[in-house]
Amino acid sequence: MPFAKEPALQPGSVSRTAVVLVNLGTPDAPTPGAVRRYLKEFLSDPRVVEIPKAIWWFILNGIILPFRSKQSAQKYAAIWTSDGSPLKFHTQAQAKLLRGLLGERGHNDVTVAMAMRYGSPSLPEVLGKLKADGHDRILILPAYPQYSGTTTASVSDAVFDHYKKVRNIPELRFVRDYHDHDGYVNALKKTVLAHWETNGRGEKLLMSFHGVPKRTIDLGDTYQRECMETARLLAEKLRLNENDYLVTFQSRFGKAEWLQPYTAPTVAQLAKDGVRKLDVICPGFTSDCLETLEEIAMEVRHEFKANGGKEFNYIPCLNSHPAWISALTEVAEQHMIGWPTMSSMRKLRR
């Protein structure tokens, strides 16, 4: 593979540091065409779907994309805002606020960029621009608190795939997870307490995480364990006992067994069992998106009320909560130790 010619470094060039906040991605518009393009990229990732390529190609292109794109577009349209995709809007805001707080803490020579694993702005696009602007130290910060091969490792794949075509590779660092980071868990606690202060406390708190196929865990993925640890730590901070909260998994796709218990059936059963007021939070999502605003706040809410529940309260994601931005800043700082992040600390390239 030929490598592109790169400009020679000039005497006196300085090192530049960047943080790339990476989220999953979103269609560019709530239309069948845009959703189809997004789903094709997302569901073509072998980290996401571990089915033999030839078989999956037929299923994806012959069955899923022709039928699911229109249905998914309608769901996206239900949550789309004047600012566009909620996930993209919130991730952009987080990146901007992260840059501001890093500056306030003295890291005034750090660029913060936002990228999407699927869709735009793509990781290759963002990494290419950072290189063109002279950044030679890059921290990859996934917006996934809990590690999974289906998400975090896929981000790493995309980064390494991009640099296969680059001659002069920057120094790279990766954040693997922060599922038990005190600042992150404390931010979750504050969102719950603020909700209770305004709306009162439900009979139970249900913590819904995105699901993965059970086979993923059986093969060694640590995702389930990290989700359960986040839930335990949050319950501990909220002083809940084991009867006060539940952990479930949502967004099951296909016929294979996924992590259980599943969110929607559990919520329906809670209503049947007499729970009248339920609070739901999605700790694994750091930005509100289709899975929280449509699947939980609309579909699962309907399940609860259709089975006898009276009050269903969805607690929004961390989004731009100050405690979350502070936690995100702490995570970035911890992983940039030793790098020049202040103007006075800039060093000449050798």
pLDDT tens string 139-162: 999 999 999 999 999 999 999 999
Over the stretch 62-82, which tens digit does the pLDDT of each residue have?
Answer: 999 999 999 999 999 999 999
Mean pLDDT of 95-100: 98
As beta bridge partners, residue 314 has 280
Q: Greater confidence, 227 or 13? A: 227
What is residue 108's predicted lDDT score, i.e. its pLDDT? 93
Residue 329: is it exposed, middle or buried by C-beta count within 10 angstroms (0-12/13-18/19+)? Answer: buried
Over the stretch 29-51, which tens digit does the pLDDT of each residue have?
Answer: 999 999 999 999 999 999 999 99
- CA torsion 140-144-150-154 (nearest 10°) is -10
Whether residue 90 is annotated as binding a ligand: the answer is: no
Mean pLDDT of 247-257: 93
Name the average pLDDT for the chain: 94
What is residue 13's predicted lDDT score, i.e. its pLDDT? 57
The token duo for 30 is: 């709530």
CATH numeric code, 182-315: 3.40.50.1400
The band of 86, judged by pLDDT with boundaries at 50, 70 and 90, is very high
3-state secondary structure of 81: strand
**Per-domain residue ranges for the chain?**
17-178+323-341, 182-315
What is residue 45's predicted lDDT score, i.e. its pLDDT? 97
Whether residue 291 is annotated as binding a ligand: the answer is: yes
Mean pLDDT of 85-106: 98
Give the C-alpha separation, 109 to 8, whole Å.
Answer: 23
Q: Greater confidence, 245 or 7? A: 245
Please, which contacts does 292-297 make with residues 24 or more away whose CB atoms are closer than 8 Å? 292/316, 292/317, 293/79, 293/86, 294/75, 294/76, 294/78, 294/79, 295/250, 295/251, 296/208, 296/250, 296/263
Give the C-alpha separation, 140 to 154, whole Å.
Answer: 12
pTM equals 0.94
In whole angstroms, what separates CA 346 from the centre of its chain? 32
Give the whole-number percent of the chain exceeding pLDDT 90.
92
Mean pLDDT of 102-116: 97
Whether pLDDT at 337 is above 50: yes
The band of 7, judged by pLDDT with boundaries at 50, 70 and 90, is low
What is residue 98's predicted lDDT score, i.e. its pLDDT? 98
What is residue 255's predicted lDDT score, i.e. its pLDDT? 86
> Strands 311-315 and 277-281: what pairing?
parallel
Phi, psi of 92 (to 5 degrees): -60, -45
The band of 171, judged by pLDDT with boundaries at 50, 70 and 90, is very high
Q: Greater confidence, 63 or 347? A: 63
Over the stretch 259-290, which tens digit does the pLDDT of each residue have?
Answer: 999 999 999 999 999 999 999 999 999 999 99
Whether pLDDT at 4 is above 70: no
The band of 5, judged by pLDDT with boundaries at 50, 70 and 90, is low
- β-sheet with 137-142: strand ranges across: 110-118, 17-25, 137-142, 171-174
The correct answer on CATH 3.40.50.1400 for the domain covering 17-178+323-341 is yes
Mean pLDDT of 1-7: 63
